[in-house]
Structure 1
Amino acid sequence: MAGALIFNDYKDFCRQAAEHIQAILNLALIHGPRCSMVLSGGLTPEGIYTHLAENSDDFDWKKVDFFIGDDRCVPEDHIDSNFRMIKQSFLDKIEHRDSQVFTINQSLPPEEGARDYHLRIKEYLENNSVFDLVMLGMGTDGHTASLFPGYPEQYERASLVLATQKEAPLKPFHRRITMTVPTLNRSDHIVFLIRGGDDKMEIMNKVLYPKAGEHNNYPVGLIKPQKGRTYWYFSQ
Structure 2
Amino acid sequence: MPTEHFFADGAQAAADLATRIATLLGDAIATRGTASIALSGGRSPKPVLEALATTPLDWSKVVVTLVDERWVAPDAPDSNERLLRETLLTGPAAAARFVPIKNDATDAYAGQPAVEAAFAAIPWPLDIVLLGMGEDGHTASLFPAAVELADGLTSAARTIPVTPPAAPHQRLSLTASAILASRHIFLQISGAAKKAVYDNALKDGPVEQLPIRLALLQDKTPIEIWISA
TM-score, with structure 1 as normaliser: 0.86
Pair 1:17 & 2:17 matched? yes
Q: Provide the C-alpha distance between the structure 2 equivalents of 1:152 and 1:8, rounded to a whole number of angstroms.
A: 38
SS of match in other structure, 2:114: helix
Are 2:40 and 1:45 aligned? no
Q: Is 1:192 equivalent to 2:187 in the alignment?
A: yes
Q: Distance in 1 between matches of 2:181 and 2:222?
A: 12
- Deviation of 1:146 (Å): 0.7
Does the CA contact (< 8 Å) of 1:136 and 1:192 recur in 2? Answer: yes
Tell me the distance in 1 between the aligned counterparts of 2:219 and 2:81.
Answer: 26
Give every structure 1 segment of 4 or more consecutive aligned residues whose post-TM-superposition deviation is greater than 6 Å: none
- RMSD of aligned alpha carbons: 2.0
Aligned runs of 1:22-101 on 2, under 5 Å?
A: 22-54=22-54, 56-57=55-56, 59-97=57-95, 100-101=97-98
Give per-residue Cα distances to partners, 1:90-144, cap 9 Å, x unaligned.
102334447x1110233212212222111211343xxx33111111100000001
Q: Which digits, 9 at most, give the CA deviation of each residue in 1:192-230, with x for residues without a partner? A: 012232x3112212333x25xx44521111126885410
Q: 5+ residue gaps in structure 2?
A: none
Paired residues of 2:146 and 2:165 also in contact (CA < 8 A): no
Aligned length: 223
Cross-structure match for 2:128: 133
The answer to whether the Cα contact below 8 Å between 2:52 and 2:93 also exists between their aligned partners in 1 is no
Asked if 1:169 corresponds to 2:166, the answer is: yes
What percentage of residue pairs aligned between the two structures are identical? Answer: 27
Q: In structure 2, how many angstroms separate the alpha carbons of the residues matched to 1:227 and 1:34?
A: 23
**Residue type matched to 1:135 in 2?**
L
How far 1:84 moved relative to its partner? 0.4
Contact 1:142-1:220 within 8 A present in 2 as well: yes
After alignment, is 76-85 or 214-223 more displaced? 214-223
What is the distance in 1 between the residues matched to 2:58 and 2:159? 29
Matched residue of 2:142: which SS?
A: coil
Q: Distance in 2 between matches of 1:28 and 1:35?
A: 5
Instruction: Report SS of the residue matched to 2:90.
Output: helix
Where structure 1 has 5 or more consecutive residues not aligned to the other structure, the ranges are none
TM-score (normalised: structure 2): 0.89
